[in-house]
Amino acid sequence: EVPEAVQAPLPVAELHLHIEGTLEPELIFALAERNGIQLPYADLDELRSRYEFTDLQSFLDLYYANMAVLRTEQDFADMTRAYLSRAALAGVRHAEIMLDPQAHLSRGVALETCVNGVASVLAVSEQEFGISTLLIAAFLRDLSEDSALEVLEKLLAMDAPIAGIGLDSAEVGNPPAKFERLFARAKDAGLHRIAHAGEEGPPSYIIDALEILDVERIDHGIRCMEDPELVERLVNELMPLTVCPLSNVRLRAVDTLNEHPLPAMLAAGLNVSVNSDDPAYFGGYVDDNFAQLRSVIGLSEFDCVRMAANSIRSSFASDERKAELL
């Protein structure tokens, strides 16, 4: 039998990935030094000791704080390059990458700086890493819809190379209905639409994301399992759910990987894929997520292959690219 370490990883599309969540502790320190920024941690170990989260918000606090080291286009480019290089080893052949522009604008970093820094690397990702990529502008749901609309208009005016919009950050208390006009504007502009829903929020947020925001994919969506009627609808619509198992454990959406609803979601016939979310924070990339699903909960090779195929089919890649990858 071939040892696991030398088996080629399954070719997958990564559909749920926040580029700022790929900032590894080493890169945080390197960028802080390059930019003359004093970090509130003495060393790597002290930073790493902060990676114990109690819920989504406790993670978001550290995630936003660490972004302080991202100042220049080069910083955003270096972060993106580091992700693609690691993702290639994880078997990622297509990636749809979320960027949080508002989290940078609020720190005085220009829209052009963050967008161009990431996009300059995505433009060469297929040649350099064998990974086709699309950029998705994600909006922070704890901010106002007017703020999101203003940023979306600026992105459209600068002809930013974005394929779609997403909705992330603090879910509970910030329901999809708050962003009805934003998503209508994005649809009108010909953009794809996705939203985090049912990570910490209730199943009704998933229904509202479908009905009010007209999304094409749900990020996370694990709490759909509390509503059998919703599950039936998601199955019938082949609605993609981008599940992030290690993230759910680290953010305490589930207690342990053994209690993760993924096997039940597969059994229900849901269109689920495996994704890393914020791999630098949650203990691993896509390959690590698959490895733990195999070793900890004994997920079958059949189910792994099925989810890899789901990820490619559920992507916004061209039909030609999908055919290459399937």
Residue window 257-296: x/- pattern of binding to Zn ion, with contact defined by CB under 5 A: --------------------x-------------------
Kindly state the smallest distance separating residue 140's Cβ from ligand HPA, in Å: 8
**Non-local CB neighbours of 318 within 8 Å, separated by 6+ positions:** none
User: Is residue 199 annotated as part of the catalytic site, yes or no?
Assistant: yes
Distance set, CA 69 to CA 12, 65, 107, 206, 243 (Å): 30, 9, 11, 34, 29
> If contact means CB under 5 to 8 A according to the sort of partner, which of Zn ion, ligand HPA, none does residue 169 touch?
ligand HPA
Q: Which lies closer to ligand HPA via its Cβ, residue 56 or residue 90?
A: 56
Q: Which residues here bind ligand HPA, judged by CB under 6 A?
A: 18, 21, 56, 63, 168-169, 196, 199, 247, 277-278
Distance set, CA 41 to CA 18, 46, 55, 65, 299 (Å): 23, 6, 22, 12, 38
> If contact means CB under 5 to 8 A according to the sort of partner, which of ligand HPA, Zn ion, none does residue 198 touch?
none
Q: What is the DSSP letter of 9?
A: P
**SS3 state at 216:** coil
Please check if 220 is assigned to a binding site: no
Closest CA to 196 of 24, 59, 51, 83: 59
Q: Which lies closer to Zn ion via its Cβ, residue 100 or residue 277?
A: 277
Q: Which of 112, 199, 229, 237 is catalytic?
A: 199
Q: Which two tokens stand for residue 53?
A: 């989260």
Q: Give the span between the Cα atoms of 153 and 144, in whole angstroms.
A: 15
The yes or no reply on residue 14 touching Zn ion (CB under 5 A) is no
Kindly state the smallest distance separating residue 83's Cβ from ligand HPA, in Å: 14
The residues annotated as belonging to the active site are 199
Which residues carry a binding-site annotation for substrate? 278
